[in-house]
Amino acid sequence: MLGLKTALSLKGEEFLLTRADSYIGVMIDDLIKSGALEPYRMFTSRSEYRLSLRADNADIRLTEKGYGVGSVSEKQMAIFRSKTSEIEGALSILKEAKFTPHFCKQRGLEMAQDGVKRSAFSLLSYPHVTLEQIKEFIPELKNISPAILQQVLVEAKYHKYLARQEDDIKMFQKNAKLKIPSDFDFSNLPGLSLEIREKVKTYKPENVSELSNIPGVTPAAITAILVYLTKLSFKETA
């Protein structure tokens, strides 16, 4: 990262990987904002976005960023584009194919008999539904490489959680500069531990961005405070 940033600075350009982009972004952010009073270890638990920061999707997260600053070759980018095209094709097939609960039950897939059609992509999020079963419903999937199908399967299994995490990322980015009133009483906010309440009283953050830099303040606590502040701001402008 240092070499890349140094090279780009000679051209007057900048490059940044955030906590939502990569683990190295998490590490740099931690060390700059919190320091290291003891040896620093890069645990996955340090990231609030670890559901999307996975080894299997590192190329999807970072290849285009690397290409944009000249660190990814045209050949590598062509391979990447081919892969993403295959993934998009597989996703399209899975999302467009929809089946009734009755159809699924006849083929051994137990689910609520509510008459609602579900896409194959949605069915894959069920813990008891396998990719092999879905292949029997959709013969076209047998022409897609196992590596691509495996990546699509992971996306399907975690789709609901990933969508929720994406909403959290967008909410934080949108409200990072949201001011925290100086008289804000954290003791009345449910869901915060005594430790976190004491820390925010000590540090007295002026906005959500400063709040997120306080060591020990968890992503869940930040989200809870954000939701409360947003509601408070809405009431004041209503």
Model confidence over 4-28: pLDDT tens digits? 989 999 989 889 898 889 999 989 9
Taking a C-beta distance cutoff of 8 angstroms, is the pair 223, 168 a contact? yes
Question: Residue 102 belongs to what domain range?
Answer: 88-159
Residue 168 included in any domain = no
Counted domains in the chain: 3
The answer on pLDDT for 208 being more than 90 is no
110 with 143, same domain? yes
Would the pLDDT of 114 be above 60?
yes
Distance CA 128, CA 108 (A): 10
Task: Tell me the average pLDDT across 208-230.
Answer: 80
pTM exceeds 0.75: no
d(CA 47, CA 173): 16
CATH number of the domain encompassing residue 196: 1.10.150.570
Which pLDDT score, from 0 to 100, does residue 24 have?
Answer: 94
What pLDDT was estimated at residue 162? 85
Per-chain mean pLDDT for the chain = 87
What count of other Cβ atoms lies within 10 Å of the Cβ of residue 45? 7
Residue 148 has what pLDDT?
94
- 152 shares a domain with 104: yes
Under the banding of pLDDT at 50, 70 and 90, the label for residue 107 is: confident
Report if residue 26 sits inside a domain.
Answer: yes
Instruction: Note whether residue 130 is domain-resident.
Output: yes
148 and 194 co-located in one domain: no
Q: Give the pLDDT of residue 93.
A: 95
State residue 234's pLDDT score: 60
What Cα–Cα distance (Å) separates residue 220 from each residue in 30, 104, 195, 198? 17, 37, 14, 16
